[in-house]
Amino acid sequence: MGAGDIDATFIWDPVLGKAKQNGKVLVSAGELSKKGRATFDGIVVDRKWAEANKPFLVKLVKLMAQKDAEYKAKVEAWNAESPQAKAIAKLTGATPADVPGSLAAYRFLSLDEQASPAWLSGGAAKALADTAGFLKEQGRIPTLAPDYSKFVTDEYVRAAR
């Protein structure tokens, strides 16, 4: 594949940074979010596995929330030279210099915010339904589920609070 072979993509850093070298951003995830089209990262696991590993999931959620809070409290400490930026770069394939800008594009929610009706107690199911509707319109999936709330739980976030 050479430059100009891709007409459009919806991606995040570090790949976004590489794509911007030969292209331009038409609409960002932040702009979509302001229009009611939230994009977010989530943890997806098999329901039976989750039930069998609840203590692990609760601890994982707590640790993630702890790191989110540490970042929000001292954004400037997570600079290109920080061990955090170097670890994120290693995991993602970014350069440490790109990490602070990438992190700034995210909004890190507290556990209370995650458990709220805007997110895991409603918003995530709506986002899944909206995404599924779009994919059906595009011919990528054949049918829609009648209820997407059964695919989302706030159980682990509530237990982590």
Interval 28-85: pLDDT, tens: 777 877 776 767 788 899 999 999 999 999 999 999 999 999 999 999 999 999 999 9
Q: How far apart are CA 89 and CA 100, in angstroms?
A: 10
Residue 61 lies in a domain: yes
The mean-pLDDT minimum among 11-25, 71-85, 101-115, 120-134 falls in: 11-25
User: Is residue 87 within 8 Å of residue 114, measured between CB atoms?
Assistant: no
Q: Which residue in the block uniquely carries the two structure tokens 């695919």?
A: 151
Residue 59 lies in a domain: yes
Residue 86 has pLDDT above 70, yes or no: yes
Residue 39 lies in a domain: no
Task: Find the radius of gyration of the CA atoms of the chain.
Answer: 18
Residue 6 lies in a domain: no
Q: Is the peptide bond before 14 cis (omega within 30 degrees of 0)?
A: yes
Residue 123 lies in a domain: yes
Q: How confident is the model at residue 110 (pLDDT cuts 50, 70, 90)?
A: very high
Q: Which domain holds residue 61?
A: 46-160
Residue 148 lies in a domain: yes
Residue 18 lies in a domain: no
Residue 34 lies in a domain: no
